[in-house]
Structure 1
């Protein structure tokens, strides 16, 4: 096979069945990302003086809120996919077919995290700083759900790493076949899902390194995540060719990425020289709240792994 003949294949199935249950790979990728975010966030939270298990408790509020927020954003920004003649409005609830807007997921997820932090009497800012790299790793894993769904691709391409895209039937969870039984191939495109996944990995590693190296101030770790992720997302949105609503010739998410990048960059500049965030503030201790435990110094070892 020559370089011109090479391509990245896409799956011809997006789900499998276990008895009466239909398991969607999109959902499994999201769940895997959530597990990674909780695992890494828990270790970083412990390094900030938090109790073991608090991250999971807070995520029980943040994750469902984030999923709801992500779906609401997707439906609001692409209503014609669900609410025009010929479309089934009940598909707005079919989250397993894809369609989660990260902006809505982060916004409502932060509301859920705020509720969880209030109930646990801990710092929301410290929680966001602790989970930031895990969240961006989770986003990178979640993009592989788009690979299974044969979605999130760029312009047609002849590059050696071009992505093969099939025509999918999401009611059956498999590719549409032609008269010979072969999966119908729509074409070969830029693998923007892969670019974004790799970018998320790079941003997460950058956050871990910079936070260890410079002991970033309260709130600036999360701001770095916001700025880093949206910088790449802006570029990837310009590359994408799948359907999207436009404003002044640009995709809605392109504008949103640009605006959120500016906000994240400004926040990072304003916050990175502050004191490092901790799970429970000195003011909370003064009010008689129980201390979460000794806070070890921020080192390369315990910031990633937490206390042993």
Structure 2
């Protein structure tokens, strides 16, 4: 047994760094169980669950977020992969490269910009089919989306990827060499770390982004409750908050990336998207207080008619209707002769 000084030194050294997982892929018979894929799936489930709760609280119907997700999720996965392949094309095209690897989404590589952009297209299609205003749905989904991104970053931890430069800080991340146990050849994604001597200790930028994303989620939930944001402003605040963090975190990363004007392309994208989100946030404020979503269940009985085929009451609309938020407005006399805003 070592001396107390030696034991303290070993414990201090261990606690001063973050060990990486030995592997990111486990074989379940012939099926590879990939931590990255599991994290993505868990994040999607969490986003749908939280988004559903927020949408119902806003007046939507239970199950509508899941209906929208049927369109948004596959669109988002395709968009995320397309952005990654387009901005990291040297990994897949050119001499000695296999273009079919561009389809291997299970090996990692999803660009959030493409995922949000094309996922938004899918959500728009779903919302149009359901008669739901997209900005209101986006506001309900925003916190869940950014937390899902945080969960997804755990997949990068298991893959030993997207880290920064060397560091001596107490939270440095240990990187191990992974090999295929059967052949002994290097295999960064599918291999196993047989030797736990770190080949380098680096900034865990995946962890920085994970914590930043959780902070953004808390910020937008607080702002939404405090200021009753609506008309897509919660989503715009999420985008602005995320891109602000992604800007400085991206500057710390050392993995190869396409550069524009001497900067990593994601740095440029962060700035452009941040400015766009701020502009939208300001302009959308002119639309007033948060809209209230009025939804009626199409499965509920329709109003009775007087026999001539017309309702005695106003028509029941199974599409979303936005009305002014009356929770914060003072009571005012209502002229029953005026038609209510739709």
More helix as a share of residues: 1
Residue 56 of structure 1: how far off its partner (Å):
0.5
Residue 60 of structure 1: how far off its partner (Å):
0.9
Q: 1:26 aligns with which of 36, 47, 61?
A: 36
List per-residue Cα deviations over 1:280-307 (Å, max 9, x = no partner). 59xxxx99632669999879xxxxxxxx
Give the stretch that moved more between structures: 163-172 or 94-103: 163-172
Q: Over aligned residue pairs, what C-alpha RMSD do you find? A: 2.5
1-structure distance, mates of 2:270, 2:189: 34
| 1:275 to 2:289 alignment | yes
Distance 1:95 1:185, change over 3 A: farther
Distance 1:268 1:78, change over 3 A: same
User: TM-score, normalized by length of structure 1?
Assistant: 0.88
Unaligned runs of 5+ in 1: 300-308
Q: Computing the radius of gyration over CA atoms, which structure comes out larger, 1 or 2?
A: 2
Structure-2 residue corresponding to 1:80: 90
Structure-1 residue corresponding to 2:250: 237
1:84-123 counterparts in 2 under 5 A?
Answer: 84-123=94-133
2-structure distance, mates of 1:277, 1:107: 24
Structure-2 residue corresponding to 1:52: 62
Residue 170 of structure 1: how far off its partner (Å):
5.2
Q: 1:290 aligns with which of 318, 321, 329?
A: 318
Unaligned runs of 5+ in 2: 1-9, 179-185, 296-313, 329-342
| 1:174 to 2:188 alignment | no
Secondary structure, counterpart of 1:195 in structure 2: helix
List per-residue Cα deviations over 1:196-227 (Å, max 9, x = no partner). 00000000011111101110131111100110
List per-residue Cα deviations over 1:98-154 (Å, max 9, x = no partner). 110000000000000011111111111111010001000000110000000000101
Residue 256 of structure 1: how far off its partner (Å):
0.2
Q: Is the 8 A contact 1:70 1:104 kept in 2?
A: yes
| 1:224 to 2:261 alignment | no
Residue 26 of structure 1: how far off its partner (Å):
0.3
Secondary structure, counterpart of 1:85 in structure 2: coil
Distance 1:111 1:292, change over 3 A: closer
